[in-house]
Amino acid sequence: MWPIALCIGTFVIIRIIHWGYSWRNPKCNGKLPPGSMGLPLLGETLQFFAPNTSSDIPPFIKERMERYGPIFRTNLVGRPVVVSTDPDLNYFIFQQEGQLFQSWYPDTFTEIFGQQNVGSLHGFMYKYLKNMVLNLFGPESLKKMLPEVECATCRNLNRWSCQDTVELKEATARMIFDLTAKKLISYEQDKSSENLRENFVAFIQGLISFPLDIPGTAYHKCLQGRKKAMSMLKNMLKERQAMPRKKQSDFFDYVIEELKKEGTILTEAIALDLMFVLLFASFETTSLAITLAMKFLSDHPLVLKKLTEEHEAILEKREIVDSELTWKEYKSMTFTFQFINETVRLANIVPGIFRKALREIQFKGYTIPAGWAVMVCPPAVHLNPAKYEDPLAFNPWRWEGVESSGASKHFMAFGGGMRFCVGTDFTKMQMAVFLHCLVTKYRWQAVRGGDIVRTPGLQFPNGFHVQILGKN
C-alpha cells in the first residue's frame, strides 16, 4: 500500500512542479519578452492592483521597465500579457487594429461592461456603433450643445457658491451625469422615482478592484450596481417603445428608430450596453479630469493667471458681455487646450489599453504569441523624460505650437488608432466651458482633501473639498 501511495504522491508532486515550471516559462516559437509570470493562477495581479500615491509611472510598471526594459511580459488575472512602454510598439499596435491586433479586455471587464459592450466588438459592428455615437458627439451636435453645457455649468457653479464647501469630484460628476443622461435618455432625477446615478456610484467604487465576486467586496458591489442600472435602462427603453415620440429628441429615440429598421444589425442588448458605457464614460473620466485641473490651478498661480487672462479677453471682445459663449470663442481658447492636454497627460486616468494578438508577431527581436494580450501603458508614454522635459512638472506651455488634437506615439490620453475615443471633443468642450465659467466669475480656495491614490486608476479617496466664491 505504501509504495502505491508513495508513487501517487511523487507523481502529483512532479505534475505540480511541471505545471509551475510551464506557468513561469510559457512555450514560444521565438524569444518571449523578458519578465515574470508570477504565481500560478494569480500571476502578478495583486502587485498590479496595489494602491500607490505616486504621480510617476506606476511602481508595478516602473520597476519592471528598469529590470526588463520597455517591453516585458507578465500575467494578470490568469492571462499572459505583454506590457508595452515602447512608443514604436504602441504605434504599431494601434495602426494594426483589426489586422494583427484587436481590442481585448479581461473577462472581468466584459462582466462589468457587458458582453456586447463597444470595447469588445470588432469590424463592421464596431464601426456601426462608432458612427451612432458620432451622431451624438460629432462637431455639428456639439455646436448645438455648447449653450446647454454653459447653462448647466453656470447653474451649478452658482449653486455651489452658496454652499460652505463642495466636494468637487462628486459635484462635477453629478453635474455631467445629469446633463448627459438628459441628452441620451431624457432622464431627470427630479422627475424620476428611481435614482439611476446611485447605481453608477456603486458600480464605480468596484470598477478597478480585485475581481473577487463575494458579497461585501468592491467587485461584487460593482456587479450589483451594473445589474440595477441595466434594469432601469431596460425599463426606460420598454416604456419609450410602448409610447414612441413623434419627434426624435434624444439618443434613445435614435436607437429605437435603428431597432425598427428592417435587417438592422442592432440588438436591444447591444443598445443597452452601449447606453450604459456612454453614461459611465461621459461623466466619470471627465469629472476626474476637472477635479485634477482645479487642483493644478490651486497649486500653480501663474497658470491660473494666464488662463484667466485668456477667458477675460474673450469677454472684453464681446459687444454684450453676458451673451452666450459662441463656437468661435470656444475654438479660440488656445492656452485652455494646452492646459487640458497637460492635465490629462499627468492625470493618466486610463492606466492601460488592452489588445490581443491575432497571430504570432515579431517585433524588435521579441515574439508575441498568438492569443496573448498586449497592454499599452499610457503613463509610461506621458512621463517619458526623453520626450517630456521634467515630465512630472505641470507645464501647459510645453504644448505651445504643438498640434495635439489626436493621438500620437507620445500622447494617447484618449486612446489611439481606429478606437480613438469618439467622446474626446465632448470631454474637451465640457472642460473648457467649465474653466471659462469658473475663472471669469468665481474664485476658490482648497479646504481639505485632494490626495491622489492610484489602484491603478486615478482616485481621490478623501475627495477634494473647495469653497467657491463669486468674484464680485
- The pLDDT-based confidence of 292 (bands split at 50, 70, 90) is very high
Say yes or no to pLDDT of 472 above 60.
yes
Say if CB 197 and CB 184 are below 8 A apart.
Answer: no
* Angle, helix 251-260 to helix 268-299, in steps of 10 degrees: 160
Give me the chain's average pLDDT, please: 83
Say if CB 417 and CB 97 are below 8 A apart.
Answer: yes
Say yes or no to pLDDT of 419 above 70.
no
Mean pLDDT in residue range 310-316: 95
Say yes or no to pLDDT of 143 above 60.
yes
- State the Rg of the chain over Cα: 24
Q: In a 3-state reduction of DSSP, which class is residue 178?
A: helix
Say yes or no to pLDDT of 250 above 90.
no
* pLDDT above 70 as % of the chain: 83
Please state whether the predicted TM-score (pTM) of the whole model is above 0.85.
yes
Mean pLDDT in residue range 251-272: 81
pLDDT of residue 456: 81
Lowest mean pLDDT among 75-89, 113-127, 266-280: 113-127
Q: What is the pLDDT of residues 329-372, one digit of tens each?
A: 999 999 999 999 999 999 998 888 888 899 999 999 999 999 99
Say yes or no to pLDDT of 40 above 90.
no
- Sheet containing strand 464-470, edge to edge, reads 166-167, 464-470, 442-449
6/54: higher pLDDT: 54
Mean pLDDT in residue range 42-50: 86
The grid coordinates of residue 63 equal 520597476
Q: Is 151 annotated as a binding residue?
A: no
Please list, residue by residue across 283-292, b when 16 or more beta carbons sit within 10 angstroms of its beta carbon and e when fewer do. Answer: bbbbbbbbbb
pLDDT of residue 19: 44
Say yes or no to pLDDT of 208 above 80.
no
256/155: higher pLDDT: 155
Sign of CA dihedral 258, 259, 264, 266: positive
Q: What is the pLDDT of residues 455-470, one digit of tens each?
A: 888 889 899 999 999 8
Q: In a 3-state reduction of DSSP, which class is residue 299?
A: helix
Mean pLDDT in residue range 407-435: 81
